[in-house]
Amino acid sequence: MAASARLLFRGAGLKAYTANVNSGAQSSFGTTLLRLSPNCSSQTKTQIKHASHFTYHPDPVPTMYGPTTKMNLFQSVTSALDNTLASDPTAVIFGEDVAFGGVFRCTVGLRDKYGKDRVFNTPLCEQGIVGFGIGAAAAGATAIAEIQFADYIYPAFDQIVNEAAKYRYRSGNLFDCGNLTIRAPWGCVGHGSLYHSQSPEAFFAHCPGIKIVIPRGPVQCKGLLLSCIEDHNPCIFFEPKILYRAAVEQVPTEAYTIPLSQAEVLQEGSDVTLVAWGTQIHVLREVVSMAQEKLGVSCELIDLQTILPWDTETVCKSVAKTGRLLISHEAPVTGGFAAEISSTVQTPVHTLNQTDSNLSTMAKTRELCKDIRDKIVDQHKAGMGYRTIGQQLGEKATTVGAIIRKWKKFKKTVNLPQSGAPCKFSPRGASVIMRKVRGQPRTTRLDLVNDLKRAGTTVSKN
């Protein structure tokens, strides 16, 4: 009987709302049928418990936010909402089924504690939920809207992209809906299939004016959610549903915030940068140790946390150090958020060159960009010594010297081959020339130039 009940339990979908169904009169009839049928064994073929694709790695106990207590992810959400309702009398929470506690129990107890005018069900209509939230926020209330699954957020796409994101800009800052936070369960859960597993962050990342945040565990979740609620811009907060019960940490009971748009380097490394968010962080944690053990590769792991606006500086700085980047996310790869990250990291934005990062389109030897070369020359003209200049700009004194000598000789800071300077032929280039000339004594200079170009060396005709 117990085995069958367990089977029914699993087959009926998410545990949170099957509990009542099985205790009703009907299901006992069903289990009896199964038990008495000669074709059903009491043991199923797949009695293996569904194994998770990752091991949860809890954060260390935070010490700077006061006393902590054990909470899983959905409890950390409840705690954040509890803190908010307690401190902000305008705060209201609404969405489908939030009144009884929510299908994932994120709002359990809040209606009884704070009243039915503050924690209430809405009709089943996502465009209405978000539209209502925008209006309430614009009128001054702290509006926390729940979308039951991120897979169902699309009816609200127009309200989010055309309205919430643009409210402040289009009104010239007369009005805004910064008081709006939208929460939704997100990501794969094992049995969710097409419509209970989606990660839609990439659709919204293309929309300036909103913020998108995804936590990796309870401590991050509560702090980031409170930051979103406090933030004066409309925020979408995606909660990895597979972590609701699986992720357990010591979480501060008081309110605290974790800053948005700051990626966190979880582990330092030197060979490759790994970037992820949400559940996938825990997968990559395992990757980090496997890579070290099996390949001797040292990985730097970054939790992006805020997808929009994302922390380009931390990621680019890390990639400048390691030289390699791997991004991992659940959503489809084409147009997924990894595409945005990798595009930004690889773009030679000249403002990036003005920071400490050394990203450049020149491969092989590390070329200094023209701005730094000009700076070197300017400082030399001002009378600074090579070593001082080098220390100032973070370059070797010998490099500085080479640049200044070149400038003295050619009056230019660009690094193009000059006539009269020895031209370096690669061995391949030299053998191309020899082969050509041996075979065809009447080879012209132009032919040689073109052949060498094909071999990879550019020379002038002279």
Partner 1 sequence: MTQTKPNSHEGCIVLPGALRQQPFDSSEEKPQFPGASAEFIDHLEFIQPNVISGIPVYRVMDRAGQIINPSEDPQLSKETVVNFYQKMTLLNTMDRILYESQRQGRISFYMTNYGEEGTHIGSAAALDSKDLVFGQYREAGVLMYRGFPLDLFMAQCYANADDLGKGRQMPVHYGSKDLNFITISSPLATQIPQAAGAAYAAKRENTNRAVICYFGEGAASEGDAHAGFNFSATLECPLIFFCRNNGYAISTPTNEQYRGDGIAARGPGYGMLSIRVDGNDVFAVYNATKEARRRAVAENQPFLIEAMTYRIGHHSTSDDSSAYRSVDEVNYWDKQDHPISRLRHYMTARSWWSEDNERSWRKQSRKTVMEAFEKAEKRHKPHLDLMFTDVYDEMTPNLIRQRESMWRHIQQYKDHYPLDAYAK
On whether the CB atoms of residues 52 and 246 are closer than 8 A, the answer is: yes
Residue 282 annotated as catalytic: no
Residue 418 half-sphere exposure, CB side, CA atoms within 13 Å?
Answer: 11
Q: Does 127 bind partner 1 (CB under 8 A)?
A: yes
Binding range to partner 1, per CB under 8 A, among 8-16, 32-40, 162-170, 356-364: 162-170
Q: Is 168 in the site for partner 1 (CB under 8 A)?
A: yes
Residues 348-367: x where in contact with partner 1 by CB under 8 A, - otherwise, as a string = -x-x----------------
Give one word for 12, left, alpha or beta, with left for phi > 0 and alpha for psi -120 to 50. Answer: alpha
Which amino acid belongs to residue 104?
Answer: F
Closest separation between CB of residue 261 and partner 1, Å? 7
SS3 297: coil
Q: Which one, 158 or 286, has the nearer CB to partner 1?
A: 158
Q: Name which position in 1, 19, 33, 125 contacts partner 1 (CB under 8 A).
A: 125
Q: Note whether 436 and 443 are within 8 A (CB).
A: yes
Choice from 151, 163, 201, 239 touching partner 1 (CB under 8 A): 163
Tell which positions 250-289 bind partner 1, by CB under 8 A: 261
Alpha helices in 231-307 (DSSP H): 243-246, 280-290
User: What is the number of alpha carbons within 13 Å of residue 251 lying toward its C-beta?
Assistant: 28
Comparison of 126 and 330: residue with beta carbon closer to partner 1: 126
Among 51, 117, 394, 442, binds partner 1 (CB under 8 A): 117
* Beta strands 272-276 and 306-308, pairing class: unpaired
Q: Would you give the binding string for partner 1 spanning residues 170-189, x where CB under 8 A is met?
A: xxxxxxx-x-----------
How buried is residue 452: exposed, middle or buried, by Cβ count under 10 Å (0-12/13-18/19+)? buried
Stretch that binds partner 1, among 6-14, 155-163, 293-301, 383-391 (CB under 8 A): 155-163
Shortest Cβ 319–partner 1 spacing (Å) = 17
The DSSP-derived string for 167-195 is: HHHHTTTS---TTEEEEEEES--SS-GGG
Nearer to partner 1, 159 or 322 (CB): 159
Shortest Å, Cβ 298 to partner 1: 29
Active site residue 196: yes
Catalytic residue among 196, 282, 329, 380: 196
In whole angstroms, what is the distance from residue 105 CA to residue 77 CA? 9
- Segment lying near partner 1 (by CB under 8 A), choices 63-71, 192-200, 307-315, 412-420: 307-315
Which of 72, 76, 122, 220 binds partner 1 (CB under 8 A)? It is 122
Residue 343 is a binding residue for partner 1 (CB under 8 A) = no
* Nearest residue to 152 via CA among 182, 196, 190: 196
Region binding partner 1 by CB under 8 A among candidate stretches 54-62, 78-86, 92-100, 264-272? 92-100
Q: Of 26-85, which residues contact partner 1 (CB under 8 A)?
A: none
Report the alpha-carbon distance of residue 286 to residue 274 in Å, rounded: 12
Taking every pair of C-alpha atoms in the chain, what is the biggest distance, in angstroms? 100
Site string (208-247) toward partner 1, x via CB under 8 A: xx-x--------------------xx--------------
- CB of 40 vs partner 1, minimal distance in Å: 26
Q: What angle do CA 411, 415, 421 make, to 5 degrees?
A: 75
3-state secondary structure of 440: coil
Categorise residue 101: left if φ over 0, alpha if ψ from -120 to 50, beta otherwise.
Answer: left
Nearer residue to partner 1 within complex by CB, 313 or 451: 313
Nearer CB in complex with partner 1: 174/194: 174
Q: Which of 6, 57, 166, 321 binds partner 1 (CB under 8 A)?
A: 166
Helices in 208-336 by DSSP H: which ranges?
A: 218-230, 243-246, 280-290, 312-322
What contacts 24+ positions apart, CB below 8 Å, involve 442-450? none
Catalytic positions, please?
Answer: 126, 196
- Residues interacting with partner 1, by CB under 8 A? 20, 23-25, 90, 92, 99-100, 116-117, 120-123, 125, 127-128, 130-141, 143, 155, 158-159, 162-163, 166-176, 178, 208-209, 211, 232-233, 261, 309, 312-313, 349, 351
